[in-house]
Structure 1
Amino acid sequence: MSLAQHVAVITSDEQALIVASDLAEDFKRDSALRDRERRLPHPELEAFTRSGLWGISVPKEYGGAGVSNVTLAKVIALIAEADASLGQIPQNHFYALEVLRVNGSEPQKQRLYAEVLAGRRFGNALAELGTKTAHDRTTRLSRDSSGQGYRIDGRKFYATGAIYAQRIPTSVVDEHGVQQLAFVPAEAQGLSVIDDWSGFGQRTTGSGSVLFENVAVDEADVVPFQSAFERPTPVGPLAQILHAAIDTGIARAAYEDALRFVRTKTRPWIDSGNDQATQDPLTLKSFGHLSIRLHATEALLERAGEFLDRAQAETNADTVAAASIAVAEVRALSTEISLATGSTLFELAGSQATLAEHGLDRHWRNARVHTLHDPVRWKYHAVGNYYLNQQNPPLRGTI
C-alpha cells in the first residue's frame, strides 16, 4: 500500500489516451503469467498510479484533467484489454470520486481530490455476503464514546482494490439507518484486509474481504451516500459504464488473440478445401459476426459516455435516465460479446489454443466472473420499459 512517488498530472483527454495506450503495451506483456500464478500486480499498479491516470476524473477546478466519460471509459477499456484485473482495480476508485463530486462538502473535495492527485488510491468495501439482497448493508457506523468521530464494525467482501489502496471507501449504516460512505485510511487500527479472493477469473483484483473491528474514522471522512440515489445523480451510470468498459476490453483482447492464433497456428478443416485456416469460409463468417458485435459494443460505449457527460453537465431526472439507459444498452452488449469472444476463440483457433502455455482461457474466465456483477437480463428489462412505456429506470445504482 505504498504511496506512488513523482505522480504525473494529466491535463487533457488526449494525453490520458496516449498514456493509457503506452501503459497497456507494458501491462499486456506478463498478463497471462500474472493470471496463471495469481501474481498480484503491485509494480504495475505503482506505474499505473505514477502515470497520473488515477486522477483523470478529478474536476479541473481541483487540479485534475476532468476528462470526459468517453475518455474515462476508453482508458479503462484499453487497460482491461491488456490485463482485465488491472482494468477493474480502479473501478471503485473512480466511483468514489463521483460520489465525492456529487455529495461531498467543499473541504472534503479539496482534501480528498488532492490526495488522489498526489498518488493515493481508493479501494472499496461496499458489498457484503449473507444479506437478504445485494443492496442490504449491516456494517455499522456509530458515534465514538468520546463524542469525537465514529466507529465502524462489520465485514465486507468483493472489496476490489482494497488490498492496494491507501483509503478504503466503505458503505456503512448510521444510527438512523441511513447509508454513508466512510473514506477509511487503510492503516487504521482494527481494519484488516484479507486476501481471500478465490474466483476463477479476475484473479489478481484482490476482491476479497475487509474486516472492521471498532475502527475509528473522522467525521470529516464521512460523505453522504444514500442521498446519491434518492435524487437523480450520475453516480449509478458512472459505475456501470466502467463495468461496460472492462467487459469491452476483455472482448477486444480475446478477439485480437483469436485473430493472431488463427493467422499463425490454426490448421484449416479438411472439408474447407483451403490450405490456410484464414481462408476457411465458415471461419470468416464467424470472425465477421464477432467483428460486427465488437464494433457495435465499442460504439455504444462511446455513445453512453456522451450521454453521461450530458447528465453530469445538466443533472435532472431526464438526463440521468437517458444516461442510465444508454449505459444499460452497452452493458447488455458488452456482456454478450465478452463471453462470446472468449468462447468462440477456441472454436476458431482449435485444440492447440487450449494448451496452458497460451493462457487464452483467462479471457472467458475473466468475462464470466466480471459479467456476473449484476444480471444482464435486467438491463434488457430496463431498456424495453424505457422505450415502450416511457418508464425511467430505478435511481438506485448497482455498482
Structure 2
Amino acid sequence: MSRRHATILASVLLLIGMLSAVAVIRVPYSELSPGPTVNTLGEHGGDPVLSVEGHESFDTTGHLNMTTVRVTSADYRMTLGEALYGWLADDAAVVPHDSLYPDGTTAEEAEEENAEEFSRSQESAKVAALRELGIEVDTRTVVRAVVKDGPAEGSLRAGDVIKAVDGEPVEAPADVAELVTEHEPGEAAVFTVVPVKAATAAEKAGEDPAAADTREVTVTTRAAEDDGRAIVGIQAGTAHTFPFDIDIQLADVGGPSAGLMFALGIVDKLTREDLTGGAFVAGTGTIDGAGAVGPIGGVTMKTRAAEAAGAEYFLTPAANCATAVADPPGDLRLVRVETMDDAMTALEAIRADDTDALPLCRAA
C-alpha cells in the first residue's frame, strides 16, 4: 500500500471513529424545545379547557393561549451528536442535565413534582381570577405535606386545617414556622387542627371546613439539620373553598407556568365582554392568589411556540423580559406584566387597538 493510500485510509478510519463517538458518547445535558400551545378559551382533546358550574358564564372569542416547553426526560442521556445539533439549532436549547433535574431526580419524581406544581397553579389561578372580579374566596392554612420520619408523622396528616399553634391563631402558612421556631428543639408544640376527614366532610356538606370540630395534637420538636432551629417536619400551605365550581381539564401538562393564562381565561369566561376583542394573545407566568406574576423557565422556547401558533401578543413575566427580547421571535409583541392587573390593563389596550399603550419588554 502506498503512503498516499495509507494516509487516506487512516483519515477515513479516524473520521469513522469520530462519527461513531458523536453517535454513542452520552453527555450530561438536556434539551428544551417549543411545545404545544393550548387556548384556555377553547377545547383540548374534545373537552373544554375551562368550564364553570353554579355561576353564569359567557361565550368567548379570540385566544388566551398557554404555552409549553418540551423537555427531555430525567432518565434520558443525550448523545454528543444530539447536543451539538441542539447547540446549533434555533428552535432548541441545550442545558446541563442537573439544572433541570438536581440531586439525581428520577423521572417519576420529576413527573410527580410537575403534577403537584400544576395542581397548585390551577388553585392559585382560580383564586387570582375570582379576586380580580371581586368574588370572595374562603382561605385556610393546612398541612400540605408531612415529612417522612419527621416528628409529626403519624400525628398530623396532609389536609389537616391548622387553626392555632400553642393557642396562638394561625392566619397564614408562614405563621406556623414562626410559632414552632419559638420553641427549643425537644420541646412540645401543641397544634389545634380540624382533621382532614372532618374538613372534607364539611366542605362536601357546603359548610366551612375551618369551622368544623377541632382537636389538639402535641408534637415534640427536633433540631433542623441545617441551622438547628426547632421543626416538626411538616409543610404548611393554603387551601381554598370556592363559591362555585371551576374545572380545568388539561392532561399531559405539568409545572406552574400556566397560572397567569388560566386566571385570565377564567375571568374571560365569567365576564360578558371578551378580554381579547378577538385577538390572538399567548403568554406564560406563574401566579399567586394575590395576582403577582412570577418568572418561568424556557421563555425563548415558549415565544417560539407562540409565534408558530399565530399569536400576535405574548404576555411576558417582567423577570423574563430581558431573556425574551435577547432572541426576539419575529413580529410577536412581548408585553411586560408583573401582576394580574397589568395583564388586564394590557388586554384592555389590545381590545381597544391602542397598542401604543402596551408596556413592551425592553432590552436590559
Larger Rg: 2
The TM tier, using the shorter chain, reads: under 0.3
Q: TM-score, normalised by structure 2?
A: 0.28
RCO higher in structure (CA 8 A, sep ≥6): 2
In proportion to residue count, which structure has more strand?
Answer: 2
In proportion to residue count, which structure has more helix?
Answer: 1
